[in-house]
Amino acid sequence: MSTDTAPHFIRDLIAADLAEGKNGGVIHTRFPPEPNGFLHIGHAKAIHLDFGMAAEFGGECNLRFDDTNPVKEETLYVEGIKEDIRWLGYAWDHELYASDWFERLYELAVQLIRKGLAYVDNQSLEQIREGRGMFKRPGVDSPFRTRSVDENLALFEKMRAGDFAEGEAVLRAKIDMSSPNMNLRDPIMYRILKAHHHRTGDAWCIYPMYDWAHGESDALEGITHSLCTLEFENHRPLYEWFVDHLDGLPVRPRQIEMARLNLSYTVLSKRKLLRLVKEELVDGWDDPRMPTLVGMRRRGYSPAAIRQFCDRIGVAKRDGVVDVTLLEHALREDLNETSIRVMGVIDPLEVVIENFPEGHTEWFEAPLHPTRPELGMRRIPLSRRVYVERDDFREVAPRKWRRLSPGAEVRLRYAALITVREVVKDAAGQVVRLICTYDPDAVGGDPTDGRKVQGTLHWVSAEHAVSSQVYLYDRLFTVPAPDAEEADFTTFLNPDSLQVMGGAKLEPYLATVAPETRVQFERLGYFVAEGEGGARFNRTIGLRDSWARVERSEPKPAAPAAPEEKKMTEETVTAEVIEVSAREDREPAKEVITFDDFAKLDLRVGVIREAGPVKGARKLLRLGVDLGEGRLRQVFAGVAKAYPDPSVLLGESVVVVANLAPRQMSFGLSEAMILAGGGGTDRLGMTTLKGTFLPGDTVT
């Protein structure tokens, strides 16, 4: 199953051990999850390595649940974890639990006591912590450290029998209270927990600690290479101390540590993921925005893409942050190869082909994959009314525009060539319909005269369309390293990480796909079917979009559109929003708002009721804006230079972005932004509206 070929130090170490004939020349690994949460992409890295190394060197890999803490663990999680591993494409050789070894572990502990290497300590938790000392100060021996072997044996038996209450006694290894390594200052091996265990029930009231249970379980089940993450490096001396002081172990396991995976724009700590779930910041462990395996599965990730990603990131000891784009690349690479192509319109704009016969349907055959004919064909109907993507039409075509605009001819993929003849708008000026004509000779979209057609669009026949809800997912966080920031990571949650498009229209073929089918909506991205009948699709990831890059890099017009013209081109707006936004942003380039974002803005008419300077900020004006909400919103706008006398603004109608998160500035809370713009200071100004508007009116 492993496709891993890149060299890394763990492979080298294993190969060397095998060459030396250690442990009889066999390799046996294990993946040891604690059943207290769901697996995430970081675990996938470990799984890939554990199973991959065993497979590559002809050994076995166990699944062993590290269930040594009954108060935190649940059966629910063990089933989930097993399902995730299977889904990822791995099969374990033996399913085991640390709890399977409780009796053997107990015997080994007795062996250590007999050797005088472990003792029962009756100090309190606080006393033990106190006695352990500090980093720079050695610990002191417990007064119970010198108990006789017989006494320890008897006491340990009483611990197991339940004669002590929780906290009254622990079993400790007798190592070195002055070791610079805290783990060797007589670590606790057993504590008393009168809790019900999900597998052993009430059979035990003493439970082994990680360091004791993990290494010895490894040894007992014949694990030769125990791969784990860097934070256990300090534990290795203890791991080795235990196996070296015990007789009769079948193998001498070796612990090897590697860096855990960190991914940009997300968090990968179980604690933080649990918080997202518990505080309902996401819809559960399987929310498609979660980096959990269940979440990624619902998002549409393929196991192969995840495995490929694990290959690409390699294995090393340096801890860094892997760029999500690497994951996304692996995803697209696999999905491009495996996903069938279909058409779906997410934000429909109606097109009427006026010279197409009423009531007539034309059917076209189209391949389900551009380079893999074996995946078959599907039929696509064309009728007089079709839907195209609203974003594919511009009343005023920008430079290099290859889509719909008045008079322009484009291709409806696989079907026809159409030209926009008329733009129909509603009372508010919103485009509601395009009247087009098509070229009846260009059957299937092939012009007979060899003329060049500038663009090809996806579309859906209105009459045959399947209605669907499309869930658009985006990154969960707005910053590359949410847990490296000073503020709590939840403050960086991306408010636009989910957008539900309720009115999507899909080609009829989509009604037939099975749940979890991964498809590419041509020109839009990869999506996965959730449920039956095409009723819901989740966007896995968009296509690479070089048009978006072109758009971003186009020079922006210097001045805003004329004040009385409410409609503006997107470039204008982009420039203006930047103009008013705060300057201390760390990554200005990322602050550019795309057309998609623009559609999410709630633009409203605001009437300025208050206007005045801001003390300590030459460029800012403090405005009180009436949005018809029964109160004034306070807005700080960087337009002071344009209005030496702010009072001229009183009573003016301006365009307000009403649905932005309020921004805390040092002078006060800014509760909205006002559209303004200009090529230079001399032409700086706010867009004002002339005519009769009511505060709160929507601007389109």
Q: How far is the CB of 414 from RNA (least distance, A)?
A: 5
Q: How far is the CB of 245 from RNA (least distance, A)?
A: 20
3-state secondary structure of 143: coil
3-state secondary structure of 52: helix
Looking at beta carbons only, is 34 or 283 nearer to RNA?
Answer: 34
Residue 215: closest CA among 183, 185, 193: 183
Looking at beta carbons only, is 141 or 565 nearer to RNA?
Answer: 141
3-state secondary structure of 193: coil
Looking at beta carbons only, is 296 or 313 nearer to RNA?
Answer: 313
Question: Which residues does the annotation mark as catalytic?
Answer: 34, 260, 270
Q: How far is the CB of 296 from RNA (least distance, A)?
A: 18
Q: How far is the CB of 463 from RNA (least distance, A)?
A: 21
DSSP bridge partners of 373 = none
- Between CA 50 and CA 88 the distance in angstroms is 13
DSSP single-letter state for residue 167: T
Residues 388/461, Cβ–Cβ less than 8 Å: no
Which pair of structure tokens corresponds to residue 166?
A: 């929780």
Q: How far is the CB of 282 from RNA (least distance, A)?
A: 23
Maximum separation of any 2 CA atoms in the chain, in Å: 102
- Between CA 230 and CA 316 the distance in angstroms is 10
Looking at beta carbons only, is 163 or 168 nearer to RNA?
Answer: 168
DSSP bridge partners of 423 = 434
- Pairing relation of β-strands 456-457 and 459-461? unpaired
Looking at beta carbons only, is 514 or 589 nearer to RNA?
Answer: 589
List CB contacts of 51: < 8 A, sequence separation 6 or more: 1, 2, 29, 31, 61, 90, 92
**Residue 160 Cα to chain centre, angstroms:** 45
Q: How far is the CB of 288 from RNA (least distance, A)?
A: 21
SS3 helix, strand, coil % of the chain, rounded to 5? Answer: 30, 25, 45
User: For the packed helices 149-161 and 102-114, what is the interaxial angle rounded to 10 degrees?
Assistant: 160
Looking at beta carbons only, is 157 or 629 nearer to RNA?
Answer: 157
Residues 115/245, Cβ–Cβ less than 8 Å: yes
Q: How far is the CB of 329 from RNA (least distance, A)?
A: 4
